[in-house]
Structures are given as structure tokens and as C-alpha cells.
Amino acid sequence: MIERFPTVTVVDHPLVQHKLTLLRERATSTASFRQIAREISLLLCYEVTRDLPLTEVEIDTPLERTRAPQLAGKKLCFVPILRAGNGILDGMLEAVPSARVGHIGLYRDPKTLAPVEYYLKLPEDVRERLVIVVDPMLATGHSLAAGVTRLKQAGAAQIKVVCLIAAPEGLAVFTAEHPDVPVFLAAIDRELDSHGYIRPGLGDAGDRLYGTK
């Protein structure tokens, strides 16, 4: 927990920090970037699901009948914010293969700068699931905040967010708008620059994942 941002957890596990450094390195190839994004998101998934409720069930081991823990209730729903969010979805699904996946697409209107939704598809029972929104870069915080507002309107009642890197400015915007939504990150960087990039950051996450420019 960060004093300035009480709803934010920075995952300081050495493997997460090491992999994040590899992602930041400009010489990291597209193929490696994709692979490392997958690995780091699996580790972040482990942290964001740490407090999932368990229930006890009766099972038969090869030797005897016993009681053992299993996840309680409906499984999760991951919601990547298109397009870069897809780059940290696969690692999450490796950790929780039975999760449902929703998608949300937003773009910024060039005139008003307001986020505009162009795509939304969620499971029908989204209100009964823990929704984990994934987006690698929390930059201005406006589209993530708009995406979470939209998910709440669609009925999502329990929401968490996983990002790789946040700018302090964007975290301030997001946490002010959604103080009820825990955020899990690998790092909070120094600042947002005048072009909307996080510094030192890792560049454009979507471009690095998909080899576009």
C-alpha cells in the first residue's frame, strides 16, 4: 500500500521488477516483449487474486476422503482495455484458465478529448463476478476511469485493476474517481510528459507488443 494512494499496491516481487526492467529496455524485441508481458502478468495475477474467497469441499484422494479448499463462487472476468490490454491478458488466463473475458474499446475524441466507447462485450453474469480490468499503462487515467465507470454502469459490482506502470498524475485522477477500486501495479514512474507518455516508462505498450509504430 502506498501512503499517497491507499488503494494502490505496487508488487515489488524481484521477479516482477526484473521482468519490468526487460520490458523497459528499448533493445527488447517484439517477440521477447510479448513473452515477458505474459510472464509478468501471470505474476501480477497471483497478487491480485491473493484474497479470493475459498470454500471447503469433500474429495477423494487415492488414499482417503478429505476436505480441501476450492475457490468459492463464480470465477473471474478479465476485461482488457483494447488494444494494449490484450498483451497482458494471456498471462492472466494462464493463472485462471476458467475466467471469462470481456472487452472494452475506448478512443479519445480529438475535439473534446473525452473517451468514447467503440466496443463493449461482457459476460451476461458480470455482476456476479470479480472483474479484473487490465491495461499495461495507466497514463492520464482518463480512459481507464471511463472504462471502469462503464463497467459499473453495466452492473459490475466488484472491480480491480491491473497495470504494469502508472504515472502519478494518472493514478491521482483514477483513484479520485474510483476510490473503491484497488489497483495493482509493477511500478509508479516519475511523471507523465507533455505527449502523454509515462517517463521513464517503456514507450508505447501497444506498439511494442504488436510491432506497429
Sign, Cα dihedral of 95, 104, 40, 171: negative
Structural element, H or E, at residue 22 = helix 14-24
> DSSP string covering 87-129, please?
GGHHHHHHH-TT-EE-EEEEEE-TTT--EEEEEEE--TTGGGS
Closer residue to ligand URA, CB minimum distance, 131 or 139: 139
Structural element, H or E, at residue 164 = none
Closer residue to ligand URA, CB minimum distance, 99 or 139: 139
Binding-site ranges for ligand URA (CB under 6 A): 84, 137, 139, 196-198, 201, 204-206
Q: From the CB of 195, what's the least distance to ligand URA, in Å?
A: 9
Q: From the CB of 95, what's the least distance to ligand URA, in Å?
A: 23
Looking at the DSSP bridge assignments, the partners of residue 159 are 131
Q: From the CB of 165, what's the least distance to ligand URA, in Å?
A: 7
Closer residue to ligand URA, CB minimum distance, 33 or 100: 33
- Cβ 103 vs Cβ 80: under 8 Å: yes
Q: What are phi and psi of 112, to 5 degrees?
A: -90, -15
Closer residue to ligand URA, CB minimum distance, 132 or 209: 209
First to last CA, the chain: 35
Closer residue to ligand URA, CB minimum distance, 29 or 66: 29
Q: From the CB of 188, what's the least distance to ligand URA, in Å?
A: 13
Q: From the CB of 204, what's the least distance to ligand URA, in Å?
A: 4
